[in-house]
Structure 1
Amino acid sequence: MKNIYFKSLIRDIRSSFGRFVAIILIILMGVLLFVGIKSVGPDLTRTAAQHLETSHASDFQITATTGFTAKDRQAILKKMPHAQVSLGNRVPMVEHRKQKNLQVISFDKNDSQDHLQLAAGHFPGNNHEAVIDAQLRKLYPMGTKLRFTSKQLKQTTVKVVGYVTSPTYIDRKERGITTIGNGQLDGFVYTPKTNFNIPADSTMYIRLKQLRKYEPFSDQYQSKSATAAEKLMQILNARQPIRQRELQQTALVQAKARLAAQGQPVPNTAAIDQQLLQQIKLPKTEYILNQRSDNPGFSDYRSLAERIDAIANVFPVFFFLIAILITFTTMTRMIEENRKEIGTLKALGYFNHEIAIKYLLYALITATIGTTLGILIGSKALPTVVFSILKQQYIFTDYKVAYYGGPILLATGAAIFATVFSALYVLVKDLREKPSTLLLPKAPKAGKRVLLERVTPIWSRLSFNHKITYRNIFRYKARGILTILGIAGCTGLMVAGFGLRDSIGAPADIQFSQLTKYQASVTLKSGQDAVKLNSVSQLLTDASTVQSTLPVHSEQVTLKQKGTTKQTATLMAADQAAKFDAYVTLRTPQQHKLRLTNAGAIISQQLAKTLAVQTGDTITLRTTAGQRYRLKVAGITENYLGHNIYVMHAYLTKQTAKAVPLNTYLLKTKVMTPKQEHRLTQQLLDSGQVLNVNFLSKQIKLQRTTTKSIAPVVLIFIVLSGTLAFVVLYNLMNINISERERELATIKVLGFFNNEVTMYVVRESIIFTGIGILLGFGIGHLLLQFILAQASSELILFPTVIHWSGYVISAVMTIIFSLIVAIVTHFKLKHIHMIQALNASE
């Protein structure tokens, strides 16, 4: 019995091998994309997490304006005994040979944190040696002498003896900002700690044991890290007055030593000591804490993983639903075609469960092969393809891929549902019928007049073949709806894929071409008098590349509403509303013009959404100096990157109750080359009045780099969607032919030529394809909107953008696939055995 069923099963597979392969391919692609894309995001975070742990990356990096001592370290360890605390130095310097801004960092081979990974060469063995950022290998060949003029180094000329990567900089290109040069760091250098000529260490590195149990990109880690950061700052703030007294005592000792060296009498009373202290200007001790998420490239990497996760929650699911629909239909139609065989077996006395075994085995075989291949390729090959491209951007050389139970179980369950359940559904229905009923073919649907026939002027002008086509379309509505939905779904997937390609890069394009109309900003040092500010203004006026300037007040502020997370925003205050319009376009998300007034602040749309406020509400801001004040929301402006608050200078002065300096110039410039930007930056910094110069071209470049990182995932979507479209069209056409083989043989007997027989079927397909493509455009647009809503975050909003080329390519690809299927169909129809088909029911 088993042998007979096995032979029968093999015969069925051989006789309809195309259908067998098509079912496997559809399941394979559905599982592949679902499991594969669902794996990419977790694999990305898992890879980074493992690298950060093996490198013992620090959780916090704290800098102090007056440096740290061993007592500061002990204060942390006393309150947090399980912490690892290291002290070191980080100083931005200009390397004069190549004029590059480099972060010079102290190297200690015994340090327990932030282990460097050696790419070539060896670590420095003395103060004359250094290792450099591996990204600067071409610029600084092995053995190059780096020249610095800083008095903070004992040996200002050091030799490159190796290239390294650092867990602090996971992005190969992004190095962060600095207060020297053009404001952008070009790389980093490590030289022995003994080479630094600094009285107190500038940086404290902290790694907490209690954070090791959390994945570094998870919300739990972020929450626990924020709590730990607050505790660290409380400890250090408690140390602040003690540190000030230590500095005073040191300064007092130094002052007395200078007096003694000059041969002057050294005072010994406390009163005179106080007089000496008043003559010494001591810097105020301030602490700046950076969490791991503040490191260059870290947030972008996390954002990349989150975007892929968000896309994976929508795109593959819709893809899989189409695959399930087509698989379900194919399996049910296959069993319906075998009604005669089922009836024969029932008539011979076979039990229902014995008859069902063959079809359930067929379903299980296709589901098992398709699912297994889909899981293997999806979990291993697809993420590897993505990672091979991302290696160019991130320092991770060993990407970790894994099998994730959740997506695999969902995909397996769906594949079994689409095959086994569909087989059971039809078998239960058919096996209830009598053998005599099953042995007879199902009566074809009765022909009837269609609505188009009532439109006589059109109907009378149609040819006989066209009339047959329209009657068949309305006669077999279920088949037509299925075909249209299949084509529309696949076209929609391709449209959404092209839309993702266009929309991911749209925030930067719209932000910097339509909304932010200035090209650079110049931040002035605090406490500048009018004469010095005028000198900067004159420099800008004399610069040939600068077309116009606008002085504004700009600063970073934080906001926190009840029930929301803390947000950081750029506050910008202008004293000329009309002129400000030429530098920043303020408009509502509905494209209505806005203008600054003294009625309140205009805030960006994502900030309003995150804080859950609307026009008329009040927001509370906190400055870096700790001052709090409130602003009324007068409007909400369109914005795609970051959080911004725009306000009139007079209104801000009134709300803060203090003088607000115009500390920034916004620049509108001509198109500038990188060399011209560097030259202007250097001129401004050399004036001594400018703290930082920021050209937006660097932000645009960074955004484009981020966009490129997600491009491979989008390309995979498009390719697989196109492949699915082809398989779906082929499978639906096969179903159509197998269902109508007797009908097609009949018209061949009636004298229809081969081309006419082909067009008899293909003409319907052309109509369904046209309707499916148009419907697919709408489905693709809706699908893209849903995906982008998931992918958008607090700091970035993705507008729905689909260029006309996306629609055209999707339509053309679908049409080409339809033509290929039509050609294949033509050859299949030529080989229909007319007599055998007509006698099939005998």
Structure 2
Amino acid sequence: MQPMAKYMWRNIKDSLGRFIAIILIILLGALIFVGVKATGPALNASLNATVKDDRLSDVQLFSSTGFTGKDVTAAEKVAGAQAEAVKFKYVNGSRGQVVALYGYTAGQRLNAFSLRSGHAPRRTNEIVLDARAQRTYGYKLGQTYTFPADAKLGRQTFTIVGFADSPLYIDNSQRGSANVGDGTVRYFAYIPASQMKLAAASLLNVRFAKLQTADTVTDHYQDLVKIQERKLKAVFKTRAKDRNAELLAPTLKKLDAQQKQLDAAKKLAGDSPQIAAQQAALTAGRKKAVAAVHTTYTWETRNDLPGFSAYGDSSDRIAAIANVFPVFFFLVAALITFTTVTRMVEEARGQIGAFKALGYGKWRIALNYLNYALLAGVLGTVLGSVAGNYSIPRIVIALYKNEYLPLTPVVPFGWDVAALAAVFSLLATVGAAAIVVREQLAEKPADLMLPRAPKSAKRILLERITPLWRRFNFNQKVSYRNLFRFKSRMWMTIIGIAGGTALILTGFGIKNSIQASGGRQYSEIVKYQAVVRLADGSGKANAARGILDDNPHYRSSIAVTADAADLTAHGHKRTDVTVFASNAPVKMQQYVGLHRQQGGTAITLPASGVVLTQKTAQQLNLAVGDTVHVKTTAGDTGSAKVAAIATNYVGNTMYLSHQAYQKILGTKPVSNSLLVRFKAMTASQRNTLARQLLKSGAALGTSYTVDQQATVNNMGKMLDPVVLIFILLSGVLSFVVLYNLTNINVAERIRELSTIKVLGFYDNEVTMYISRENIILTVVGILFGYAGGNLLTAYILHQAETPQVIFPLYISFSGYAVATVLMIAFTGIVMGITHWRLKRVDMVEALKSND
């Protein structure tokens, strides 16, 4: 081994703590940078693998008249399409729970359920339930499951033989809505298809082979699905006519036979009144038969399935956070590494001078330190990238099983992100070494072998404040002077502590802010607890209120016109915007708290113009006074001035008065919904009331805001694993940074510390000589960290916004408390380690001069 190589390895051995610290800092930076950047793609890849294994359909088609083999054949005329007809309907199940019921046939190819226990139905009396029914509602294998008579099945009682997950229902917290029972589907179930008692299949699943390589949660996939959906619609446009003809054929055949008989009677008896009456009845019967058969289709894609869009939003939020938080984390790590390597090379100026004096060339000397930095950078990057890429995504995927169906973990290695981490790492290590070595090699050997002249002391600002300066004792004055004497060290420590505090605070801020969006929306803005959609016909509002009046939890209600509309302005379009119109603008304030985004003053619905929520206005690039074009689902169109923009966190909504509605759209608004305020209710009480309203015929359905709030809160739960990893790794980074900077401080001032020990300072006083500076810098760093944490959180929240949700900046007191306590604790631990080290300093060796 060459002498310079031996020296490098000896240098690593002698400064093993610093070498390990450099590796650890780079490792942590690369771990969270690569790991979090890999999490979003890994979540998408895992979902893709799972739905591919279970052969999830791309398009689900519902028919009002059912499907036959001809429909399957028609669908498969589209290139690459695989179709399968299934019997399906919503029914009331055991305990009054709404069930999505499927007919099971052995050998089904699409949307295969995955058994978690038990087996598939083998006999006519066997049923497989959703695994959610076992987790949430306590059903067990071997238990008897009973359907009410109105389910209209071949039998009412079944034996539970299995529990399963389905790719149609990836979100464990929701199963969609229905038009039976209380309107909320609790779980799905499979029974033998023969027991469904349906004349034909009611659901057609279609899967396209060419789409299975596309990422199912991306816009690109949605665009590809729309293309295939258009092709299917073209096929089924003619198929609907054929299906009507098939269903009408038996009836028309009988009517044609009757018509022939009637025609024969006409020839014999002529046009008698009796024959005319029979002809009129026959003609009316024919019209009635034709009117009764009308095939309509309802189209759904994967994005319409419960939880699919939320899953995509969740992975998008993680990807958005990964574009900011890990980058900031890595920059802090790289900055501290740069400082550490710089100080390491500066300390070696004596050895560099000796090598130059011995005749070694500049490149050979520089290579020694460049290799040292390269080795530390490469080790840290490789270990951090591998550990981050394969640990963080898998941890998140494993924790996702509480909220989503078990995913097949697929974690592709992010070579591009790892390469970027390597570039940053090598810039921080090799780059720092190259810059400092170049400066050192420019000096003469004789100058390098002399210690660098200490910085001269200067009067600091505090000294000019005489009344304050007089109150400080000697040790305090020395500490303050040293702080400003070594400004680069001071700023590095402040930046390190501020960065750590900001990162920890940001972790809490992300979680708190996402939770706050739901909390504020459904307490400050949405003050009603339910929306009751009224059935068509006059008197339905009074009928619904009659049922509500009998409920002890009912407080009040207001009738509104609820609709959906597409809004267009400045070349931008926003679809499916919720529209609420009221004929009582003042009373409406009791149900919806509208406040101006600027100034926070209350908004009363104006007689002309509309009030838009802030996200809607932002997406359409609208300001107060601008014009927006409105088109409702009924086809009514008009243009309106934006009268105000209201603060809002969840959803896109347009509010207006009935008077403004009629002016803008030219039609008289009809109240079709009730906004209802309740006292606190249990889930069981809410479900019972929803069933009563639906059963009465007065309402089409009831939706509760508590369910919507739970969905929003679920967004925060999805990020819990990532936020926890952020906080833990930020804490570790903060500790390593603080420890490393303190070690550098002690190493650079070891002669100074040994001198004051020789002068008679006690061990505690020597420790406080250094630690007092750390305490001051810790306090200053924490304060800077508060500001940095708020700015970083605000930026991340802006990046993580979805088309439906805005996240208000909110960091709880516990977030500040934990960040502060951790930084103080780290400072205390480092003080303890420093105290132990300083007690064992060899003063004679430290004070030896190399002059």
Structure 1 residue 499, shift from structure 2 partner: 0.8
Q: Give the whole-Å Cα distance in 2 for the aligned partners of 1:784 and 1:490.
A: 14
Letter in 2 for 1:190: Y
The Cα shift of 1:751 comes to 2.5
Equivalent position SS for 2:149: coil
Q: In the TM superposition, what are the counterparts of 1:441-480 in structure 2 within 5 Å? A: 441-480=451-490
Give 2:117's match in structure 1, choosing from 117, 120, 123. 120
Per-residue CA deviations over 1:823-842 (Å, capped at 9, x if unaligned) read 21122222222222221423
2:580 equivalent to 1:581 = no
Residue 712 of structure 1 and its aligned partner are, at CA, apart by 1.4
What TM-score does the superposition give when structure 2 sets the normalisation length? 0.93
Gap change, CA 1:448 and 1:753, over 3 Å in 2: same
Moved more, 652-661 or 98-107: 652-661
Which one of the candidate residues 528, 542, 556 is aligned to 1:518?
Answer: 528
* SS of 2:42 mapped into structure 1: helix
CA distance, structure 2, for counterparts of residue 837 and residue 739 of structure 1: 11
Deviations 1:134-179 (A, max 9, x none): 2213633223233242465333433322222111011123101111
In the alignment, structure 1 residue 170 sits paired with structure 2 residue 183: no
Q: Does 1:768 align with 2:777?
A: yes
Q: Does 1:780 align with 2:780?
A: no
Query: Matches of 1:345 and 1:209 in 2, distance apart?
Result: 68
Q: What is the CA-CA distance between 1:69 and the residue it aligns to?
A: 4.0
Give the partner amino acid of 1:808: A
Superposed CA deviations along residues 514-552 of structure 1, whole A, max 9, x for unmatched, are: 1100011111122x222x442222111222110101111
Query: How far apart are 1:387 and its partner, in Å?
Result: 2.1
Query: What displacement does 1:704 show?
Result: 2.5
User: How is 1:17-56 mapped onto 2 (pairs within 5 angstroms)?
Assistant: 17-56=16-55
Paired residue secondary structure (1:385): helix
Find the counterpart in structure 1 of residue 701 from structure 2. Answer: 692
- TM-superposed CA distance for 1:562, in Å, is 6.7
Rounded to whole Å, the distance in 1 between the matches of 2:749 and 2:703 is: 70
* Structure 2 equivalent of residue 108 of structure 1: 105
Aligned to 1:495: 505
SS at match of 1:555: strand
Asked if 1:411 corresponds to 2:421, the answer is yes
**CA 1:230/1:636 → structure 2, altered by over 3 Å: closer, same or farther?**
farther
Return the offset for 1:793.
1.1
Give 1:316 deviation, angstroms. Answer: 0.6
Partner Cα distance (1:42, 1:837) in 2: 54
Residues 140, 760 of structure 1: alpha-carbon distance in 2 compared, 3 angstrom cutoff: closer
Matched, 1:222 2:231: no
Relative to 1, partners in 2 of residues 1:121 and 1:462: Cα closer, same or farther, differing over 3 Å?
A: closer
Residue 228 of structure 1, CA deviation: 3.1
Q: Which moved more, 1:654-663 or 1:21-30?
A: 654-663
Say whether 1:541 aligns with 2:529: no
**Pairing of 1:208-357 with structure 2 (within 5 A):** 208-253=208-253, 274-280=283-289, 281-282=291-292, 284-357=294-367
Query: Structure 1 residues 603 and 53, CA, compared in 2 at 3 Å: closer, same or farther?
Result: same
Which residue matches 1:572? 580
Q: Distance in 1 between matches of 2:502 and 2:358?
A: 49
| In 1, Cα distance between equivalents of 2:220 and 2:572 | 16
1:98 and 2:95 matched? yes
Q: Alignment partner of 1:460: what SS?
A: helix
Q: Relative to structure 1, is the Cα distance of residues 51 and 331 closer, same or farther in structure 2, using a 3 angstrom cutoff?
A: same
Q: Whole-Å Cα distance in 1 between the matches of residues 327 and 778 of structure 2?
A: 23
- 1:741–1:646 Cα change, 3 Å: same
- 8 Å Cα contact 2:753/2:766 also seen in 1: yes
- Superposed displacement of residue 257, structure 1: 9.5
Q: Is the contact between residue 597 and residue 647 of structure 1 (CA under 8 Å) also seen in structure 2?
A: yes
Q: Which residue of 1 aligns with 2:155?
A: 155
Matched, 1:818 2:815: no
Q: Which moved more, 1:330-339 or 1:670-679?
A: 670-679
Q: Structure 2: which 5+ runs fail to align?
A: 267-274
SS at match of 1:588: coil
* CA distance 1:477–1:533, change in 2 (3 Å): closer
| SS at 1:389 equivalent | helix
Partner amino acid for 2:16?
F
For these two proteins, the number of residue pairs brought into alignment is 835
Q: C-alpha displacement at 1:614, in angstroms?
A: 2.6
SS of 1:548's equivalent in the other structure is strand
For the residue of structure 2 that corresponds to 1:594, the secondary structure is: coil
**Length-normalised TM-score, structure 1:** 0.94
Conserved? CA contact 2:541–2:559, under 8 Å:
no
Aligned partners of 1:131 and 1:160 also within 8 Å: yes
Contact 1:488 1:779 in 2 (8 A): yes
What is residue 790 of structure 1 aligned with on the other side? 799
Pair 1:236–1:218, CA change in 2 (3 A): same
Cα deviations across residues 323-375 of structure 1 (Å, max 9, x unaligned)? 00010110110111111111111111112222223222221221222122212
**1:374 corresponds to 2:384:** yes
For 1:344 and 1:34, the matched residues in 2 are separated by: 40
* Partner Cα distance (2:185, 2:258) in 1: 39
2:181 pairs with 1:181: yes
State the distance in 2 between where 1:519 and 1:40 align: 36
Kept after mapping to 1: 8 A contact 2:101/2:188? yes
Q: 1:415 to 1:643 in 2, by over 3 A?
A: same
More displaced 10-residue stretch of structure 1: 777-786 or 643-652: 643-652
- Aligned pair partner of 1:429 in 410, 421, 439: 439
CA contact (8 A) 2:522 2:709 kept: yes
Contact kept? 2:49, 2:408, Cα under 8 Å = no
| Matched residue, 1:63 | 62
CA shift at 1:235, angstroms? 4.1
State the shift of 1:570 in Å: 1.7
Which residue in 1 is equivalent to 2:272?
Answer: none
Rounded to whole Å, the distance in 2 between the matches of 1:356 and 1:806 is 46
Please state if 1:661 is matched with 2:670: yes
Equivalence for 1:611:
620
Structure 1 residue identity aligned to 2:578? T
Q: Separation in 2 of the partners of 1:334 and 1:257?
A: 104
Contact 2:574–2:619, Cα closer than 8 Å, also in 1: no
Distance 1:271 1:152 in 2: 36
Give 3-state SS (helix, strand or coil) of 1:181's partner: coil
Q: Tell me the equivalent position of 2:271.
A: none
Residue 273 (structure 1) shift: 5.1
How much does 1:246 deviate?
4.7
Task: Provide the C-alpha distance between the structure 1 equivalents of 2:652 and 2:257, rounded to a whole number of angstroms.
Answer: 52
Distance across 1 between alignment mates of 2:205 and 2:644: 42
Q: Distance in 1 between matches of 2:769 and 2:347?
A: 21
CA contact (8 A) 1:48 1:396 kept: no
Distance in 1 of aligned mates of 2:712 and 2:254: 50
Q: CA deviation at 1:597?
A: 1.6
Residue 596 (structure 1) aligned to one of 597, 602, 605: 605
Find the counterpart in structure 2 of residue 552 from structure 1: 560
Q: Which runs of 5+ in 1 are unaligned?
A: none
Change (3 A) 1:41 1:505: same
The one-letter code of the counterpart of 1:368 is V
Q: Secondary structure at the match of 1:118?
A: strand
Q: 648-657 or 752-761, which moves further after superposition?
A: 648-657
Q: CA deviation at 1:46?
A: 0.4
Q: How many Å apart are 1:129 and its aligned residue? A: 2.7
Write the letter of the residue equivalent to 2:88. Answer: R
* RMSD of aligned residue pairs (Cα, Å): 2.6
Deviation at 1:91, TM superposition (A): 0.6
State whether residues 146 and 160 of structure 1, in contact with CA within 8 Å, keep that contact through their aligned partners in structure 2: no
Code of the residue aligned with 1:324 in structure 2: it is A
